[in-house]
Structure 1
Amino acid sequence: MPTVYIVFISAGLLFLLLYVVYRVSSKPITTEEAKAHLDSYFTKLLHQSRQQTGLQVLVESKGFHYSFTAGSISAGNGATIAPNQPFHTASIGKVFTAVLIMKLAEQGQLSIHDPLTAYLPGTALTNLFVYKGTDYAEQVTLKQLLGHTSGVADYLEDPVSGSPAFLELLVSNPGRFWTPDQLVDFTRQHQQATGIPGTRYHYSDTGYILLGQIIEAVTGASFSANLHKEIFGPLQMDDSYLMFYSEPHNQPKLQIQDIWLNGTEISTYQSLSCDWAGGGIITTPKDLMIFQKKLRNGQLLRPDSLREMESFSHKFRTGLHYGLGMMEVRFEEFFFMLKGLPRLKGHIGILATHMFSYPDSDTHIVMNFGSTAAMVRSFKALIEIVNTLKKIRSVDI
């Protein structure tokens, strides 16, 4: 996943950000003018896009509600996207995994400072944390897995030996079903640890697969059952589920939107089973908005647990900082003229999926572009939304 985000520091993106800053007037506007502006903006954006079938946007901020849906569910049949069409969240799912771990910590069933070996047998950790000839498996903590500082490699995008790269396997063998054990084994057999635990930040989907296995070991229930029991059910997220492992409450379930991975549409591939606890959740804009708002108002975690998740002490990329399963956008790092924009908290996914909030003004933003090729466009759109909100007379962001 990390290579996808290198575009954030490219000169091309900085030009796009500068373009956004200068082309938008600071003149106050009404809520209706804001909605009309965003409708026009997103219609043009989708029309100009490549390797993207549809677009969903949902924004709520102090009485301002905005929803935009356009395009097709599938390039194959051209059916129109419904306002609440399910989509693949990608790495936004890591927030859900982190919330489950923090809930278990609140219940006293584990501590995030516990060693990994307290929950998974040593054989499950063989050759995952060997760095320069020394095995550091016994030093790894759950907090390090949550914050990507454990040293374990990333099966999805890290260099490999003795095998094609994982993303190549995903596309070239669409019928393969990947179990969590097989995902961990891929790192064990084909990759090397990236450092001594606790000494450096390195984004790792493998680490989140291990967290999913810990959740199962502690609760005695499947990862998907935990999602439904602790989050989907209580919050009435009735269209949400873990792809390949569970079903939504609402039936019959709707077709998910196209998923474009590096130019290939993969929404029907069995190999998408590779996400699991690292980001295999299917949801809708409405459900994801519910989750984000309930997380913010204390219905999922205590305030101290959420503060711990938001200890953004590591830099994911320029402009993006990481805590424990949560990201913070610092627009001013993209370009100095964006200094006045608020810092948003949430997460992104490789498919240009966004879930962000600005708690100070109760602002929440959900977007799904459904394509790895749309990452720059999606951040340009995020800036457009925030700039527009700042100009609405009745909204203070």
Structure 2
Amino acid sequence: MAGLEVSSSRLFSKRNFPSLCYRRGIVGSTLTAPRVHLGPVCLPKLSSRDLAEEFEKRTGYPIARQTTKSSDRQVIAKLYAIMEAVADRVEMHNNIGYQRDNWNRLLSTSINTMTLTGATMAGLAATVAAEGAPFTALKLSSVVLYVAATGLLLVMNKIQPSQLAEEQRNASRLFKQLYFQIQTTLSVGKPDTSDVNEAMEKVLALDKACPLSLMGSMLEKFPSEVEPARWWPKQRQKQVSLGENNGWNRKLEKEMKQIVSALKKKDSAEYIDLCNKTLKLNKMLATSGPLLTLLAALGSSCVGTTHCSWPVTIGVMAGAMAAVVNTVEHGSQVGMVVEMYRNNAGFFKLIEENIMSNMSEKDVGRRENGEILEMKVALQLGRSLSELEQLAAIAESSEESASKLF
């Protein structure tokens, strides 16, 4: 141990490490330096949450952060307020659509159960003695069930729950689309008052096209003339130019005109025709269902009053036919199919109006960029750009539909 202590003292001696004393002097000098007294430090006040974070917390919808500075924070605040209202509309339409889909399934099942039970009781009433409590109970129960089923059918055929559910599903999708359109406006440019007005008009147009309430503002379920659904305000052109010609040329203009012609002649006309045929079927089913249940109630009420078998035959057969008609109408959701065809026709009408509103603008610089518009139309129709050009080339002679989506 003594030898180890001697060797360690020689190893760390001043002669072997002359800089050790020098560094020690530096350390000592720094320790004896005068103290510097710092005054209070003023830090900038940071806001606890910006508008985007506040919006995300309230709605739960993520948004893209704006990368460009805007000169008008009030415009951005208004757009965020509209986005919050749109997100709330999405939730309302989702909830009400789910509720009305339940109406369709529960009411259809209940009416079929009541109708078939009434038919069974009418048949049993004919098998017991005409005088006595069992006969009276079965007969009256059958009549009551048929009358109740008739009342429920009248209400159900009036409001068409499957069609209402389709309206809410479509409204939810369109409000989500509007939400992301506003988000894009906030992300890629400097929004102005025109963007706020446009967003407000779109929200109000959607509210009018897809009302939430049933009383007063419900859309007509059996219109005399079928028209494409409309959920957009009057088209307005953005004054955005990306070049001297703004992506437009004579070839593109001719192509867009031919696509509009194909949409009108084939796609829109086809879906309007399908909507008319389905609507006629729905009217026939909605009329025959309550008539059959009333006829069955009349037959059940006459059971036992005559020795003929026609009352019980009518009471049982009409009830069975009413159950079949109700299953075809509401089980197959014919009203939903009508609304789906009407929305498809409206979708093609929107594409037509968007193209024609650009074509009608003489100043090319005020149009939407031609290349961007062509890409949008191609995606909306489920085609590539080359397929869109081929469609325009054969639009006059071919019977091919413009859309490949549906």
TM-score range for the pair, normalised by the shorter chain length = under 0.3
- State the TM-score, normalizing by the size of structure 1: 0.23
The one of the two structures with greater contact order (alpha-carbon pairs below 8 A, sep at least 6) is 1
User: Higher helix share goes to which structure?
Assistant: 2
- State the TM-score, normalizing by the size of structure 2: 0.23
Structure 1 or 2, whichever has the larger Rg, is: 2
